[in-house]
Each structure stands twice: as C-alpha cells, then as structure tokens.
A and B are shown apart, each in its own frame.
Chain A
Amino acid sequence: MRVSFLFFSFLLLSLQTLQANILHVGQGQVFQQIRPALAAAQAHDTLLVHAGFYQEGNLEIDRPLTLLGMDYPILDGGRQFEVLTIKSSDVCIRGFQIQYSGRMATIDLAGIKVLAVNRIRIEDNRVYQCYFGIYLSGAQDCVVRANDVHGTPLEEQNTGNGIHLWKCERARIEWNYLAGHRDGIYFEFVTDSKINNNFSENNIRYGLHFMFSHKDHYLDNRFRSNGAGVAVMYSREVQMHRNLFEYNWGSAAYGLLLKDISDSQIEHNRFEHNTAGIYLEGASRIRVLNNDFLENGWALRVQASCDANVFRENNFVANSFDVATNGHLVLNEFNGNYWDKYEGYDLNHDQVGDVPFRPVSLYAVVVEQMPYGLMLMRSFMVYLLDKAEKIVPSLTPEKLQDEAPLMNPLQRTAD
C-alpha cells in the first residue's frame, strides 16, 4: 500500500516535471524581455534568463515559477520601482543581479519583495543599491540563501534593511552577505526560524535586529563594524551559538544588546573589540556559557533589571572593564569563568582559584555613575583605589562575585 502510494506520487511528480517548460529570455531568444515571458508562463515553468540588462520597471510574479539567471543578468529598477514582487507561493529566484530599486518614504520598495505567500526560495542573487534588499512579509517556510546584499547608506531614515522579515514563520536565512544597509537582517514577529552563517558588516544601525521573534536560532554568524552591533529585543527562547561579534565600536555601540529577553541561550560566541560585549537590560533566565570576551570596553554591562541569568565558563581577557552594573542587588550567577584580572591563588592545584573574584571594579562603578570619570582612566590614582577596593569592598556590589574563578583560560576546541 505504502509503496504503491510512493510510486504513484513519484509518477505524478515526474508528469508535472514533464509538463513544465523552460522559457528562454534574452537577446536572440524567444522572449526579449522578462515581462512577456512571465505573462506567457504556465505554473511551474522555468524562466531561464540569459545575461543582459533588463530595465522593465516592477516585475510581478503571480504564479509558481522558477526564475534562473545565467551569468547574473541585471534587473534594474531605474531608481524608481520595486524590482521583483512575488505574489505567488513556490517561487524560486536564483542567480540575478538586482539593482537600483526606488526609494520612497511611504512604501518600502525592495529589490525582491515577498508578500503573504509561502515556500519561496531566493538564492545566489546579488542585490545592489536597493532601498530594502530582500523583503519578506507574512511568508512561511521561505529560504534566503547565499545572497550578496549591499548598498550605500544614506541617513538612517532613508536607508532600508538588507534582509527584512515581518511576520514570518520557519524562515531560513543562511550564507548571506549584508553590508551598507540600515539593519543587516531585520526580524519582527518571526518565529521558529534559523539564521546561520551570515556575515553582516558596516550597516549603519544594527547588524542583526530582531523584535518579538521567539524560538529562533542564530548560529555561526559574523557581525562586524555595525553602527550599533546586534540588538535583540522583546523575544524569548532564542538560541545564539558560535556567532562572532566584533569591532562594534562607538559611543552607543554594543556587540550584543539584549532588552527584555528571556529563556535564551548564548553559547560559544566570541565578542571582540566591542564597546560593550553584551549589554543586558530586563533580561531573565539567560544562560551565557562558554563565550570569549576579548578586548572589549566592557565585556558585560548587566543592568539591575536583569535576573536569574547565568554566566559560566566564559573567558574574559583584556577588557577595559569586565563587568559593570548600576545597582547593588545581584540576582545573577557568575561561576567558573576565567578572568584575566584575577590575582588569587590556587593552593590545591585544582585549577580553581581559592578566593572569589569580584569582576566589578570600583572604577567601573564610578564610571557607571559618572561617565565623565573616564577622564581619569589609566590614572595611577585609579589603579591604587581599585587595589584598595579589591581588599575591602565598600562601593562595589559585594555579592557580585565568581566563587570559582578559573586559573587558566578555557581552551576552545573546534573553531
């Protein structure tokens, strides 16, 4: 029974494939332009677009089609139109160079826009100088893969996002390169999605920005030199693993900004050269494990509104400040981390320091209250005061301490 069912469906599938035609578009082909080919195509046909320059205003795809570009044919919006608008499910766009969409304050014109349809694949395209790059709205089970999206940013309000998702489910965003947009990747109300191996850099606001997006996985991404790093807000059950946050450097920049996040995991990430590695505000029940914090201004800025977060087995190396906080109440747990500023001893040689480490220095507390106090940074006086405070804590939160600081940095195996 089951075998026959499989066989039957296979037959049906192959029949369908047989029915599907390939429509050639290009100079000297059956169709000179894409628009007539789109009109002529049957559902499940393939449009094979040969290399060339196509400026046809806004192209709307209203039936399930596969559009394949050979040697990256150029679809140009002439700085006026949205280039591709997908209004049918089961569409695949692959191998195009899409450029110069219009810019408009009222409508978010995009290089490729997907509107309320499912199972779209957007792969291996170059999206250059568009207002919004790839825009998915109300779409489910879509894949955006290996696209190169970059633009030249104007001011924040006149620049769109690289990959923009609104109200989507089960999206997969992978192996994309994003640069020169407002937010590299923007998620709002996107759930159960997977974002992996993307590289987002030099965007004027955030490399990755998501809000109200629950149960998403962010793996192996790299966020570099974005205006304000990565911002994660109002979400829960988020997994962030093996990402690299680096060179987000500026007076309001963060490697990772967490605001009102709960029940999430942040593991095996690397934070390097950020003004603040992780900034936590209103964060609850987040497990920050096995991360490396290197040469950040602040490795962690934990606001007093955070509770029940766990920081374990992280390496803190060469940060100006390891931890800063704005209150005395400590509801978070620090345990078994390596701190390069730790000066304790280990008599029984179990690689765990025998005296606890307080990662908040007096000077960090002073600076938290009085930012202009940074004028005295690296002053000899500050160094002496920090030493004195370490011996007898008075101003720093006494409870904020790592009971089992490690003597040696944790070695990370596979990178």
Chain B
Amino acid sequence: MQRTDSQAAVTALGAVAPITSHAAAAPRASAQSAMLRIVKYILMDILRNKIVLGYTLFLLAVTFGLFNLSDNPAKGLISLLNILLIFTPLVSLVFSTIYFYNSYEFIELLAAQPLRRSVILWSQYLGLGIALSLATGVGVGVPLLIWSGLGGTGLLLLFITIVLSWVFVAIALLASVMTRDKAKGIGVALLLWFYFSLLYDAIVLLLMFSFNDYPLEKAMLALVSLNPIDLGRVIMLLQMDVSALMGYTGAIFREFLGTIWGMVYAGAILCCWIAIPLSLSFYIFKRKDF
C-alpha cells in the first residue's frame, strides 16, 4: 500500500492553502470545490495504487474465463454472480479499511485545515467508491459487453455489483472510524464480510428450520432485505427466472420484487444500506478526537 506522506500530499494538493482563504468568503462553494479536489487527489492516489489495478485485472480474468469456459452465456452469468457476490464485498471492505488507515496521516492533516469533517469523510468515501466502481465497470462491464451484448440481466448484474461496492465501502468506513487500531479495524471489516457472506445465511437457514411450522414467506422477504448480498442475489435470480422453481414462494417474491415497485423497494433498501452506515460513520467521525 502506498504510504501517503503528509508533506508530499500538501504539495501535491497544492490547493489546500487557497481553499482556506476562500473558505470564509463562500463556505459552500469552496467546500464543494475543496471536496472535488480532495476526491480527485484520493482517486489519483488509489488508481496509482497497484491493488485496484490488480482487482480490475482479476475481475477481467474471471469474467473472460467464465464466459470462455461455459458454452452458455446465461450459465456464465450465474457463475459470475456467485464469484462477484463473494469478492466484491470482500475487496471493498478490506481495501477501503486498509486505505483509510494508511491515509490516516493525510486525514489528520486535512483535519488540521479549516475544512469540515464531513467534507473530509465524503471525499474519502467518494474517492474509494468511484475507484472501485471504475474497477468493476472495466473488469466486469467490458467482458459482459463483448459476450452477452450487455443485455438486461448483464446490466443488472453490473449495477448490483457496483451498488454492493458502494454499500461495503460505507460499511468499511464505519468499521474504520470506530477504532484507531488498524489491526482491529481490518479484523472488524473481515468479520463483517464473514457475517454478510456466510453467517447471515446460516442464521436464516437455522431460523427456517426452527420456525418450519409457520408460514415464513413474508418473513423471508424481510430477512432478504436485511442483507444486501442476499438482496442482490435474489434480485438477480428472479431475473434469471429461477423463481419458477420456487412455487408459491417464487410467486410471492416475483410478485413483490419482480415488478417496478419491487425494484424501487430493492433500490431503496440498498440506498438504506449505504445511508445508514455512512451517516453513522459521519456521526462518529465528526466527534472523533484525533
């Protein structure tokens, strides 16, 4: 990971001093332009970083490989879904956490400037989110464009993956601002990934077994909403017409999530999954004593 030397950062930014002079005159406009500049700086810093490039290449290789291996693009899409649902959250969480801790000095430097704390965190979030979205867009979008002509399902998969990146960057920020200890922060991020990818489904399975005697269809719908990964997977599977296997449950799911309103609902839930961790981390970050 590239270390951000605070001195170099200031020279690289070059604009921190002017920002301060503007800040008093037009706080809103300058806050925005300051944020833009910081986002740009963070973005360049991340893109120079080999990790995101590696992630992009990995996605490219996986997507190309899967479409090459399976004779049927629909099957390739399903395998891709499986892999993306595991790796996107993992990479988003771990990379964001590590990046946040590595740029701690830079953040401290920015905090010393007359900048609002929210501007600092927003620029971190946007920088990370945009970088990972770019990686997904290139790594998954380009092969999809070549192989399946980026039809409705392919586009949806790309969209879900990008939204999941944003969700898990938000969750990673929450994990990072909660503690100063890098090891602890990364540990929390990994645990969260473990929870969302594995533990949650196991708990759902357990609930299913325990409350087998009750009609659980509606409850399942609620449980799906409580895990962004599950929500993404179910939306994808419904599009791929796996719902035919589900009988009555499938009918309920399809009736609910398959319609425009269902899509709006799913979108709203995913937005909540961004908004809630993000606002929590803002709350903590604003009160943080560096």
What residues make up the interface of A, taking CB atoms closer than 8 Å to B? 249-253, 275, 297-298, 318, 320, 366-367, 369-382, 384-385
Cα distance, A378 to B208, chains bound together (Å):
17
Give the residues in chain B near A379, CB-CB below 8 Å.
201, 230, 233
Question: Which of B4-12, B54-62, B109-117, B235-243 participates in binding chain A?
Answer: B235-243
Task: Let me know if B198 is at the binding interface, CB within 8 A.
Answer: yes
Task: List the A side residues contacting B201 at CB < 8 Å.
Answer: 376, 379-382
From known contacts A251-B243, A275-B244, A379-B230, infer whether A374 and B82 are also in contact, taking CB-CB under 8 Å.
no
A253–B244 touching, CB < 8 Å: yes
Residue of A nearest to B241 (CB): A249
- Residues of chain B within 8 A (CB-CB) of A377 are 233, 237, 242, 245
The reply to whether B248 and A371 contact each other, CB–CB distance below 8 Å, is: yes
List 9 A-B residue pairs with CB atoms under 8 Å apart, sorted by A's residue number. A251-B250, A370-B216, A371-B249, A374-B245, A374-B250, A378-B233, A380-B82, A380-B85, A385-B205
17 additional A-B pairs beyond A251-B248, A376-B205, A385-B205, beta carbons within 8 Å, are A249-B241, A251-B243, A251-B244, A252-B247, A275-B245, A366-B205, A370-B212, A371-B246, A371-B249, A371-B250, A372-B216, A375-B220, A376-B204, A378-B237, A379-B233, A381-B197, A381-B198
Q: Could you tell me the distance between the alpha carbons of A298 and B245 in the complex, rounded to whole angstroms? A: 8
Give chain B's interface residues, CB within 8 Å of chain A: 75, 78, 81-82, 85-86, 197-198, 201-202, 204-205, 208-209, 212, 216-217, 220, 223-224, 230, 233-234, 237, 241-251, 253
Complex: A372 Cα to B33 Cα, angstroms: 50
Cβ of B247 and Cβ of A378 under 8 Å apart?
no
| A374 in contact with B244 (CB, 8 Å) | no
Contact for B253 among A297, A370, A375, CB less than 8 A: A375
In the docked arrangement, what's the CA distance between A372 and B248, Å? 8
**How far is the CB of A69 from the nearest CB of chain B, in Å?**
42
Evaluate contact between A297 and B245: CB separation under 8 angstroms: yes
Pick the most buried of B75, B85, B201, B243: most chain A CB atoms within 10 A of its CB. B201
Point out which of A275, A369, A375 has the most chain B C-beta atoms below 10 A from its C-beta: A375
A367 to B85, CA, bound (A): 22
Question: Given A369-B212, A370-B212, are A378 and B248 also a contact pair (CB < 8 Å)?
Answer: no
Given known A-B contacts A371-B249, A375-B230, A375-B253, A250 and B244 have beta carbons under 8 A apart: yes
CA distance A381 to B78 in the complex (A): 16
B92 to chain A, nearest CB (A): 16
Nearest 5 Cβ contacts at the A-B interface: A381-B201, A372-B249, A297-B245, A374-B246, A379-B201
- Distance in angstroms between the alpha carbons of A318 and B72 in the assembled complex: 11
Could you tell me the distance between the alpha carbons of A251 and B242 in the complex, rounded to whole angstroms? 10
- Docked complex Cα distance between A67 and B201 (Å): 68
**Chain B residue at minimum C-beta to C-beta distance from A320:** B245
What chain B residues lie within 8 Å of A275 (beta carbons)? 244-245
CA distance A379 to B82 in the complex (A): 8
Looking at the assembled complex, report how far the CB atom of B40 sits from the nearest CB atom of chain A, in whole angstroms.
Answer: 37
How far apart sit A42 and B203, CA to CA, in the bound complex (Å)? 82
Are B75 and A318 neighbours in the complex by a CB distance under 8 Å? Answer: yes
- Tell me whether B198 and A380 are in contact (CB under 8 A): yes
Give min CB distance, B86 to chain A, whole Å: 6
User: Which residue of chain A has its CB nearest to the CB of B211?
Assistant: A370
CB distance from A292 to the nearest CB of B (A): 15
CA distance A320 to B241 in the complex (A): 12
Q: In the complex, what distance in Å separates the CA atom of A275 from the CA atom of B242?
A: 9
